[in-house]
């Protein structure tokens, strides 16, 4: 699941990840993401931090209460997030970029790890 408030970026991630063979669902903010998780946990979440309605940090904490084990990648261009204790609960951190190599690598890694569990 891709959680991203900016429409252009959301579509971009969706297309890129679909072409990698993943099934992709999207949410526009933290609240929508939680609703999606309640309907059935995705295999992995890519989570933006700065979003309207509910930001990624609060969504992260609330999603983990619903599914403790779901892998979460924080995807952000905002550098100060590490100051936030809650961010330590994420499984990986990726700096937002149009080059998705790093993001794709992290996704592969986490899904592999999840399978091995």
Partner 1 sequence: MKVLAIILAGGRGERLYPLTRDRAKPAVPFGAIYRIIDFTLSNCINSGVRHIYALTQYKSISLHRHIELGWSILSAPLGEFIEVIPAQQRIDEQWYQGTADAIYQNIYTLQEERPDLILILSGDHIYKMDYRKMIDFHLERKADLTVAAIRMDRSLSREFGVIEVDGDWRIVGFQEKPDEPKPIPGDPQGILASMGVYVFNIETLVRRLIEDARSDSSHDFGKDIIPAMIQKDRVFAFDFRQGDRGGTGYWRDVGTVEAYFEANMDLVSLTPQLNLYDPDWRILTYQSPYPPAKTVHAEEGRTGTVINSIISNGCIISGGRIKRSVLSPRVKVHSYVEVEDSILLDGVDVGRGAKIRRTIVDKEIQIPEGMEIGYHLEEDAKRFTVTPSGIVVVPKWIRL
Contacting residues toward partner 1, per CB under 8 A: 58, 61-62, 64-65, 68-69, 83-86, 88-89
- Give whichever of 61 and 77 is closer to partner 1, judged by the CB atom: 61
SS3 annotation, 31-65:
HHHHHHHHHCCCCCEEECCCCCCCCHHHHHHHHHH
Min CB(91)–partner 1 separation in Å: 9
Min CB(81)–partner 1 separation in Å: 12
Min CB(70)–partner 1 separation in Å: 9
Query: Among residues 47, 49, 46, which one has the least CA distance to residue 80?
Result: 49
Min CB(88)–partner 1 separation in Å: 5
- Give whichever of 33 and 100 is closer to partner 1, judged by the CB atom: 33
20: Cβ contacts below 8 Å, ≥ 6 apart = 104, 107
Q: What torsion, rounded to 10 degrees, do the Cα atoms 90, 96, 97, 102 define?
A: -10
- Give whichever of 6 and 91 is closer to partner 1, judged by the CB atom: 91
Please give the radius of gyration of the chain, using alpha carbons only, rounded to the nearest integer: 13
- Give whichever of 86 and 111 is closer to partner 1, judged by the CB atom: 86
């Amino acid at each position: 699941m891709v959680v991203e408030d900016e429409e252009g970026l959301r579509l971009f991630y969706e297309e890129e990840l679909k072409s990698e063979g993943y099934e992709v669902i999207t949410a526009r903010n933290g609240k929508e993401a939680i609703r999606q998780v309640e309907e059935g946990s995705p295999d992995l979440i890519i989570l933006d931090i700065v979003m309207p309605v509910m930001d990624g940090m609060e969504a992260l904490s609330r999603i983990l209460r619903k599914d403790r084990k779901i892998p979460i990648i924080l995807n952000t261009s905002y550098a100060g997030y590490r100051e936030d204790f809650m961010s330590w609960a994420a499984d990986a951190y990726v700096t937002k970029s149009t080059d998705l190599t790093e993001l794709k690598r992290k996704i592969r890694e986490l899904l592999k790890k999840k399978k091995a569990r």
